[in-house]
Structures are given as structure tokens and as C-alpha cells.
Structure 1
Amino acid sequence: MNWKLFIARRIYKSNEGGRKVSKPAVRIATAGIAIGLAVMIISVSVVIGFKHQVRNKVVGMGGDIIVSSIDGAQLYQMTPIVGNDSLMDIINRIPEISHTQRYSVKPGMIMTSDNFQGMMLKGVAQEYDRTFLQKHLLEGEIPTFTDSAASNRVLVSRSVADKLSLKVGDKLYTYYIENNIRARRLTVSGIYQTNFSYFDDLFLITDLYTVNRLNGWKPEQVGGIEITVKDYSQLTQANDCIRSSINDQTDRYGEIYCSRTSEEIYPQIFDWLNLLDINIWVILILMTGVAGFTMISGLLIIILERTNMIGVLKALGADNASIRKIFLSLSVFLIGRGMIWGNIIGISVCLIQYYFHPFRLDPATYYVSTVPIELHIGWYLLINIGTLLISVSMLIAPSYLISHIHPAKSIRFE
């Protein structure tokens, strides 16, 4: 049997030997490991969850990639492109693409008897993926939208409904100003809420036919095509494939096709999300450093209180390297105990928030109503492995204090 591991285990099981100084010091060091690991697990879960939820809301109301005219840099007033079946087939043949859908937009204004508000009327066709809207639908229903008939029905957001005192079944009058004023009366069929003010404060959803008629476009023309990729990590690759297939090509009306990713369309949002990565690295480094330094202080106190034992082992022929292994093994046991408690605390907090949502946020500021949590076993394993390796590595240098302990003096040490 490995005698160094045997001694380390005996010291660990002896409740730190009942020493008056080392016992509280080791408990503090173990608590430092547990708290640091718990904070890292919670921080990573919250940041990953927040990034994914905000990203999903951005692409949920649009798409991972948008194909429009090269002049359509502004999503609110764009030049139409021909979005026929042949173009859709070219895009759908790309392996990374999972779904395509056409859309058009028209800026206008909603007016009631005592209030008014600017808005964007977005038209979608029968291939529109309802999953996102269905998830965020609060009242009413999502009507069947087509590109061949006017439904005269519209989905409005909760914020718009509250400002204009609208409810399901109400009639609302919308106005569109170009050379002259055009009006459309629409019926509220449903109310949604994404908590993403960028969309909730602006967009009304109706059929593609109505919006194209308001724009005065041909039946084959659309404002753009929203594209969803199978794997978000392949976003750039998918966009490159689309660009190689259709970019710089013109439709029958002379408009040039252009594809852009959601990150290129909303750079301010994704740059803000990328800044969160810096925050999480700062937290990981600080927590690992705190845990490591508390463990260093605990190890030094244990070594000093075990000076007599170290002298006896040296007198019996043990070398410095073997004795260092004893104390490093003991440190691994203590770190492991702290990590077990850290995992229990961190994962328990994440599970409570994930299922019961006790911690809430202001959606007007954070775009989500509760603190988002994403459970990710892979990240938890990496955090645990990294914490263990870094903490043990930080203890190697302090363990060399053992080489300065002389047997003759240390045996008499009290």
C-alpha cells in the first residue's frame, strides 16, 4: 500500500488531529473552496442562460440569417426582392439550413379615440414558424396567415395593448403615410409578450398579403427571407454558403440579393452579450484565486502544526518529496470535500431557480422576467476539473516549506 497516501488519509480522518489552530483554518479553507465553486457554477449557468435567452428572442422574431436587397440595410423600409420558390429551393438545399420563411414590413401608426403610437406591421406567409410566437402568446390565438388573401387579423404585443387599451377581439385602425394616407382596420386576434422591448414596442404581426398590398409590391416580391440554421455554431459557415450561392445576383427587377447574419444586423445587442464573457472570466479567476489562497493558508498552518511529525518521518528516512506528497494528498482530500459542498450548493440553487423562479428581474431592463438558468453538465465538469488542478498547483510551491524543517530541531518542536 502507498504509505504516503495512507498517512494523508489517517490525518484527514482524524478530524485534522483535533488541533486548535489547524482545525478552524482548514474549515475556512474548505468553505472558501465550496463558496468559490458554488459562485462559479451559478455565474456560468446564469450567463449562459441569459445569453441564450436573449439570442433566442432576437432570432425568434426574425431569423439567424436575413436575405434582403443590398439596399435594405434598414429593416424598417426596404426595397423588395423576388422571393419565389426557386430562390427558396436554392437556400433550402444548403445542408446547414433548417427553415426559411418570407416576410415584409410596413411602417405605420395606430390610432384610437384617445391615443396613438408608431408601429411596424410585419407580414408573414403560410410557411411561418409559429413556435416562438406560440411560446410567448398570452391571450387569443395565432391566425392562419397566407400570401394570397387578407386575414384582417393582427397580433399585438402586451405593451402596445396596454398603452392603447386593446384586448382580444377589438378593432384597431392603422394608418400608412406615403404620397397619401392609407388606412386599414384590423382585428386583434392575439396578444404576445417577449419582454424584448425592441420588438414588443414596435411589431404587429399580420399576413404577408396585406403588407405587400400596402407596399404596392408584386405578389412574388417580399421584403426579405428569414433563415434558421440547424446549429447556431455553424452560423458563419451557413451564411458563407448563402453568399456564394446568391450574393451579388440580381432578380428580375434588378435588385441585388444580400445576406446578413443576426449578429451583423443587431451588432449592439451581440456585442453586449459578448461582454458578458469577460465578466464570467473575471469571476472565474477571482473565485479560483480566493479558493486557492485560502487553501494555501490552511496548508501552511497544517504543516507548521505537524512539524514534529515531519521531523519524525525525516528521522525514519523519508525524503522531502515523499512528505510533500503526504500533505498534497491531504490537500486534495480537503479540496475534494469543499468541492462536494460547492457542487451541492451551486447546483441546488440553479435547480431551484430553474424550476421555481424565486429570483425575478425587471424585463424592461434585462429582457427577461426571471434570472435565466441553463443547466450544462459539461461546463460543470470543466469548472470542477479546473478548480481542482489550479488549487493543487497553487499548493506545490508552499509545500516546499517542508524542506526547511530539520529533524533534530523539529522533533523537539512544540
Structure 2
Amino acid sequence: MNLPYYIYKKLSRNKNKFSISSRIIKISTISVSIGILVTLISFSIGKGLQIEIKNKMFSIQSDIVISSYENIETGISLNPINKSNLLNSLINEGLVYSNIYYSADKPALLLSKEDFESLIFRGFDNNYDIKKFNELFIKNGKNLNQIKKNEILISSLLAQRNDIDLNQKIRIFFNKDFSQKIPNVRSFKVIGFFETEFLEFDNNVILGSIEDIKDIYSWENNDIGNLNIIIKNKDDIIAYEKTLNSSSYLNENDLRASSVFSKNENIFNWISIFDFNIIIIVSVMILVALVNIIIALMVLIFERNKMIGILKSMGANNNLIRKIFLYKGADIIIKGLLYGNIIFFIIVFIQKSFNVIKLNSEDYYVDILPFYIDYKYIVGLNTLFIFISIFVLWSTFSIISKISPSKVINSK
């Protein structure tokens, strides 16, 4: 028979609701529940924000852009690049990647209600996969497979600001060079509205076809502004960027590869801080829960010191008595974890079903608080909580060895 477990069960049945230890044990159970609840929420929200923001960044921009130094610095395709020469050189150097598309960025003007709005016209070729962008961001004009010539996508912000409707034709002005006095005017059909929640993008970028840019600026068929590369494993982006920048062709022709990470360093540095914040929160919550459990069990030990003395006088060793209180500690931990996990999943269900908690997209780049659920991490966090708690509890029960049987039995 498991004697420590038997004694623990006997003690559990003999509950005195008015004892100090009973009230403190309830407080400790609540503390564990709050600890694991806050831990799971902080992890789920932190990872959720990281994943949502990264997915948006990877959808708005290509993983790596190859362009001229001048084009990258200005953000505008000032000088065209010959795509055949660039692609052939990458193939010869063994640096070609299967998933590529071409684009070009040009300054443009939209006649608003009161004045002209300065914009960037971003033109893509037909290799650009607009489906992912369509799924994430486009609010009207869904099921787009490509952007054809004389068609554009604009942001909902831009549309609202200028009273632009779906399928409406709008005029956009282009200057071929600084000496041009009368700009080129093109009429475009608005085939959809997008909302990325990146205000800099939504306020300044319109999406169209690279063929329009070639026509307006009299580019050759092989001319492009940028070669864009999509990489399946995002962890390889930085290494591939460095490899491309060591290319002899790129260096000889004043070209440079720039990754989504290097172009948006501030955003990625900001979301990487979430990991540190999660570690701090998890550590603090475990510490607070442990302190409460230890206090509860110490009070219980002092309440039961006469029982401990009797058990010792009957030959029970310290390990046996430790196990009795360890069972009680495990009972507090498991109940607390169970309640905390149940509340966590209820909160997640409510948020995912009804989007109760909103965020300011100007600050967080998302408008709804995201919860990331990965059961491996949830089980891992609960297991970590249990093992650290039991280890610390076992270590703190050294106080039992200091209890003298003769003193506690004879005490009143």
C-alpha cells in the first residue's frame, strides 16, 4: 500500500473550512490558475501577433528584391534592369530561385478632391501570385487571378478619401522625367480595394501591371525595375540575401539584393522583443504561484506538526512525510492548472468566435487580437509548470527534518 498517498487522502477528506490552511490552499489554487492563465494568454497573443505581422509583411513584399542601389535607396525604379541578363547570370552562378516575379515602382499623382495625392504605382508581371494577397487583404473584387493592363487595386483608405467606387475609372498622372512639363495621363479601372493595416502602404501604394509602366516610360520588353524572389523556408532568407550580394554580376552592375528583414528592420526587431516579454511573464507567474503554494504547505505543515511528530516516533522517515505534503502540493498545482486551462480555452473560443477584443491597427498592424494555438506549446508550458513546482516543493520540505517528535508530541 502507498502509505503517503493513503495519509494524504485521509487528510483531504477531513476538511476544516475554517482553518487557516484551508483558506490559504484555496488562494494558492487560484494563484496557480491565474499564473498558468496569464502564461498561456501572453504566449498565445505574443506568438499570434508575431505570426500575423510576419504573414502580412511576407504578403505585401517579396522575400528578396534585386535592384540597383539607386532604385533601392529611393524606393522608385529610376533606371530599368535587363531581366534576361540578370536571370542568366544568376543561373550561371547557380543562384537562381524557382519562384520569381518582376515588378517596377514609379511615382504617380492622383487628383483628389482638393489637390493631387502623391503615390507609388507598383506594377507586377503575370508571375506575381496575387491569390495570397487577395485572401488576406482584398475586401472587394475577390477571386482575382491577376492584375491586367489598365487595372489597379487601391486601398480602402484611399478610396474613402477620394470617393472612389469599385469598377470606377480614375485618372493617374505620371512624369517620365523632371523636365516634362505636361504629365502623362492614364485611365485605370479600380478592380478591388485592399486593407493591409500598414498605413504607410495603404496611404501610398497602388497596385497595377508592369506593362502599364513599360508603355508610359517607353521601356523595352526585357526591362524591369526589380527581380523579386519568394523563398519557401523563411529562415533561409538572410543567408540567401548574403549569398546573392556576393554575386560577381550584381557587384559589377551596381545591383543589390535586399531582404524583407533588412528593409523592415524596425518592425522585425519590435516583434522579436515579444519573445523576451513572454519569458519574463512566464518566469514571474511561475514564481508567484510557487511562493503561494510554498506558503500554503508551510502553514499546513505547522498545523500538522503534531501528526508529523507522531509519524516520526512510529518510525516514519523524512522522505515518507515529504511525500504526504508533496501529494497535497501536486493536488493544488493540478487543480490550478486545470481551472486555468479551461478559462484560457473559453477566452480563446469567445475571441475567435466574436472578435471581442479589438486593437489599434496603427500601433499593432492588426485590428483584432490574435490567439495562436499550438498544443505542443500548451502541453509544454503546463509540464514545465508542474516539474518546476514539484522540484521546488521537494527542496523546500527540508523543514520537516527539523521537527522533533518529542517536542511536538509533548507540546500543548
The two structures have a TM-score, normalised by structure 2, of: 0.90
1:59 CA drift (Å)? 1.4
How many Å separate the matches in 2 of 1:354 and 1:15? 43
Which residue identity lines up with residue 185 of structure 1 in the other structure?
A: S
Residue of structure 1 equivalent to 2:379: 381
Residue of structure 1 equivalent to 2:204: 202
Identity across matched positions, percent:
25
State which drifts further: 346-355 or 199-208.
346-355
Residue by residue, what CA displacement relative to the aligned partner does 1:47-66 show, whole Å, maximum 9, x if unpaired? Answer: 11111111111111112222
Residue of structure 2 equivalent to 1:411: 409
Residue of structure 2 equivalent to 1:264: 262
SS of 1:72's partner is helix
- The alignment yields a C-alpha RMSD, in angstroms, of 2.7
SS of 1:73's partner is helix
Residue by residue, what CA displacement relative to the aligned partner does 1:52-87 show, whole Å, maximum 9, x if unpaired? Answer: 111111111112222222443326224433333982
8 Å contact 1:37–1:339 — kept in the other structure?
yes
1:133 CA drift (Å)? 2.4
Runs (4+) off by over 4 Å: 15-19, 88-91, 93-98, 141-146, 240-244
* Number of aligned residues: 406
Please give the residue correspondences for 1:221-236 in structure 2 after superposition, counting only pairs within 5 Å: 221-236=223-238
Which residue identity lines up with residue 279 of structure 2 in the other structure?
A: W
The two structures have a TM-score, normalised by structure 1, of: 0.89
CA separation of 1:9/1:111 partners in 2, compared to 1, >3 Å: closer, same or farther? same
How many Å separate the matches in 1 of 2:63 and 2:101? 12
Please give the residue correspondences for 1:6-405 in structure 2 after superposition, counting only pairs within 5 Å: 6-11=6-11, 13-14=12-13, 16=15, 20-74=19-73, 76-78=75-77, 79-84=79-84, 87=87, 99-135=99-135, 136-141=137-142, 145=146, 151-177=149-175, 178=177, 179-180=179-180, 181-243=183-245, 247-250=247-250, 255-405=253-403
How many Å separate the matches in 1 of 2:115 and 2:34? 53
State which drifts further: 172-181 or 57-66.
172-181
Unaligned 5+ residue runs, structure 1? none
How many Å separate the matches in 1 of 2:406 and 2:58? 73
Which residue identity lines up with residue 68 of structure 1 in the other structure?
A: S
1:192 CA drift (Å)? 1.1
Unaligned 5+ residue runs, structure 2? none
Which residue identity lines up with residue 236 of structure 1 in the other structure?
A: I
How many Å separate the matches in 1 of 2:261 and 2:33? 37
How many Å separate the matches in 2 of 1:15 and 1:344? 28
State which drifts further: 58-67 or 108-117.
108-117
Residue by residue, what CA displacement relative to the aligned partner does 1:91-115 show, whole Å, maximum 9, x if unpaired? Answer: 7x98996732211111122113534
